[in-house]
């Protein structure tokens, strides 16, 4: 992994690193109150530089049928887009496009993990794709585009 990308990943604002429990050493963002309420969702950088995301299914993640709610999968996948982009994302960004396919259900107690990749990164747009799994069972595939944005009052090029 390139040192600059590792540094960008390590220095994202609003990061919390778990110090105990199942996700000790994993990271999450505390600045997004919706994700914090829906999750907790976690991510880490693997030795090969890839990003892995995960969450343990709790009762609050379930729909009336006892399966993970589709909106929870979609929220987690959107979280994953930003985690996958973290090594190259050096500014705020927003989701501009999101597509998904529901492949299978997950139930309470399962570990849901996501892997994915940046397929192309331009000056303003970053294209990504990923897959959620429980063990070897594919649950949900997704792709999305995020757009780098500048904060109000920030000069061009900053």
Percent of the chain topping pLDDT 70: 87
Strands 51-56 and 137-148: unpaired
Task: Identify each DSSP E strand in the chain by its residue range.
Answer: 15-17, 27-29, 42-45, 51-56, 93-102, 111-121, 125-134, 137-148
For CA atoms 67, 60, 82, 16, the dihedral sign is negative
- pTM here? 0.88
State yes or no: pLDDT of 155 exceeds 50.
yes
Query: What 3-state DSSP class applies to 32?
Result: coil
Name the pLDDT band for 3 (thresholds 50, 70, 90).
low
Mean pLDDT of the chain, nearest integer: 89
Residue range 128-135: mean pLDDT, rounded:
98
Q: How many CB atoms lie within 10 A of CB 107?
A: 13
Residue range 26-31: mean pLDDT, rounded:
88
């Amino acid at each position: 992994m390139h040192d600059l990308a590792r540094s960008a990943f390590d220095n994202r604002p609003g990061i919390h690193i778990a110090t105990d429990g199942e996700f000790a050493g994993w990271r999450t963002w505390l600045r997004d109150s919706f994700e914090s309420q829906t999750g907790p969702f976690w991510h880490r950088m693997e030795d090969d530089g890839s990003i892995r995301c995960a969450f343990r299914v709790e009762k609050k993640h379930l729909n009336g049928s006892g399966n993970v709610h589709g909106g929870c999968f979609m929220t987690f996948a959107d979280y994953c887009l930003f985690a996958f982009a973290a090594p190259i994302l050096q500014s705020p960004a927003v989701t501009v496009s999101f597509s998904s396919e529901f492949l299978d259900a997950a139930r309470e107690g399962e570990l849901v993990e996501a892997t994915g990749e940046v397929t192309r990164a331009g000056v303003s747009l970053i294209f990504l794709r990923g897959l959620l799994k429980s063990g070897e069972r594919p649950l949900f595939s997704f792709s999305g585009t995020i757009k780098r944005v500048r904060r109000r009052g920030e000069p061009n090029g900053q």
